[in-house]
Amino acid sequence: MRLAFSTLGVPALAIDQVVRLAAEHGYHGVELRASDEGPVHTGLSASERADVASQFGKAGIEVLTVAAYPKVAAPGDDGPVLEEIDAALTLAADLGASYVRVFPGGGDQPAEQADALATRRLATAAERAESLGVRVLLETHDSHRSGADVARVLGRVGHRAAGAIWDVMHTWLAGEQPQVSFRALAPYLGYVQVKDIASAADTTPLPLGAGVLPLAETVEVLSRAYWDGWLCWEYEKRWYPDAAELPGLLGPARDHLTRLLADSA
Residue 221: per-residue pLDDT: 98
**pLDDT, average across residues 162-172:** 98
Q: What mean pLDDT, rounded, does the chain reach? A: 97
**pLDDT, average across residues 88-94:** 98
**pLDDT bracket for residue 149 (50, 70, 90):** very high
What are 58-70's pLDDT values in tens digits?
A: 999 999 999 999 9
Q: Give the percent of the chain with pLDDT over 90.
A: 97
The rounded distance, in Å, linking the Cα atoms of 210 and 197 is 8
Residue 108: per-residue pLDDT: 95
> Does residue 11 register a pLDDT over 90?
no
**pLDDT, average across residues 31-52:** 96
Sign of the CA dihedral running 50, 91, 31, 1 = negative
Sign of the CA dihedral running 70, 72, 76, 79 = positive
End-to-end CA distance of the chain: 11
The rounded distance, in Å, linking the Cα atoms of 90 and 95 is 9
DSSP string for 145-201: -SHHHHHHHHHHH--TTEEEEEEHHHHHHTT--HHHHHHHHGGGEEEEEE--BS-SS
**pLDDT bracket for residue 76 (50, 70, 90):** very high
Domain 2-264 belongs to what architecture?
Alpha-Beta Barrel (3.20)
> Does residue 91 register a pLDDT over 90?
yes
What are 168-224's pLDDT values in tens digits?
A: 999 999 999 999 999 999 999 999 999 999 999 999 999 999 999 999 999 999 999
Residue 87: per-residue pLDDT: 98
What are 115-128's pLDDT values in tens digits?
A: 999 999 999 999 99
> Does residue 258 register a pLDDT over 90?
yes
**Cβ(68)–Cβ(101) under 8 Å?**
yes
Alpha helices in the chain (DSSP H): 15-24, 46-59, 78-95, 111-132, 147-157, 168-173, 178-185, 215-224, 247-264
Q: What are phi and psi of 239, to 5 degrees?
A: -95, -10
